[in-house]
Structure 1
Amino acid sequence: MAGFGTLLFTWLKGKLVGTDTAGNRYYIERGKPAGRRPKRWVIYNGVAEASAVPAEWHAWLHHTVDAPLTDSARREWQKPHQINTTGTTDAYLPPGHDLRGGQRERAAGDYEAWQP
């Protein structure tokens, strides 16, 4: 949840540009600020997590593009955005990881420790 100051600034000076599939809302500063670019910001839907911003909106937030990539411009080979789950219960754990029991199937070229 955004802080009170951010919500007040958004209500007074923000113009909604769009939302992403996760429900994050993206804003740009209304009017033409003198001598600088208008501010762009996001209000997250839930926990403020930077990896929750898809690439097309990240590029827009950082003034790399003038408009975010629309769904119609996406290619069929582009995968949908996923947040970074490192450090959470949804994190990827390869076979043999200690948190998955530490056991995995042997491979043909498996490592064998040196024995003197």
Structure 2
Amino acid sequence: MAGFGTLLFTWLKGKLVGTDTAGNRYYIERGTPKGRRAKRWVLFNGVTEASAVPPEWHAWLHHTVDAPLTDSVRREWQKPHQANGSGTTNAYLPPGHDLRGGQRERATGDYEAWQP
């Protein structure tokens, strides 16, 4: 949840630009003073986690593009955005990880130990 100051600033000076598939809302500053570019920010839907911002909105937030990229630019081979799951139950655990039993398959014949 955003702080009171952020919500107040958004209510007074923000203009909604759009939302992403996760429900995050993206704003731009109304009435930007001359000689300064408009501020851009996001109000997260749920936990504030920077990795929850998809690439098309990340580019817009950081003034890389003037308008947010739309799904019409998405290629068929691109996967949908996923937030970083480290530290959560969605974290990747490779084979042999302690939390997956600590056992993994033995190395195959292509491994050769280094000898000084």
- TM-score, normalising length: structure 1: 0.91
Deviation at 1:106, TM superposition (A): 2.5
Secondary structure at the aligned position of 1:46 is classed as coil
- 1:41 positional shift: 0.2
List per-residue Cα deviations over 1:38-86 (Å, max 9, x = no partner): 0000000001000000011000000000011101111111111000011
Partner secondary structure for residue 37 of structure 2: coil
2:24 aligns with 24
| Residue 109 in structure 1 maps to residue 109 in structure 2 | yes
Give, in whole Å, the separation in 2 of the partners of 1:40 and 1:46.
Answer: 19
Q: Show the 5 A alignment for 1:75-86.
A: 75-86=75-86
CA shift, 1:33, in A, is 1.8
Code of the aligned partner of 1:102:
G
Q: Which residue of 1 aligns with 2:72?
A: 72
Secondary structure of the equivalent of 1:58?
helix
Question: In percent, how many aligned pairs have the same letter?
Answer: 89
Q: What letter corresponds to residue 48 of structure 1 in structure 2? A: T
- Partner amino acid for 1:68? P
**Greater mean deviation of Cα atoms: 105-114 or 51-60:** 105-114
Residue 62 of structure 2 aligns to which amino acid in structure 1?
H
Deviations 1:67-108 (A, max 9, x none): 111011111111110000112121000111111110122242
Gaps of 5+ in 2: none
Map of 2:8 onto structure 1: 8
- The CA distance in 2 between the partners of 1:38 and 1:109, in whole Å, is 59
- The 1:110/1:99 distance shift into structure 2, 3 A limit, reads farther
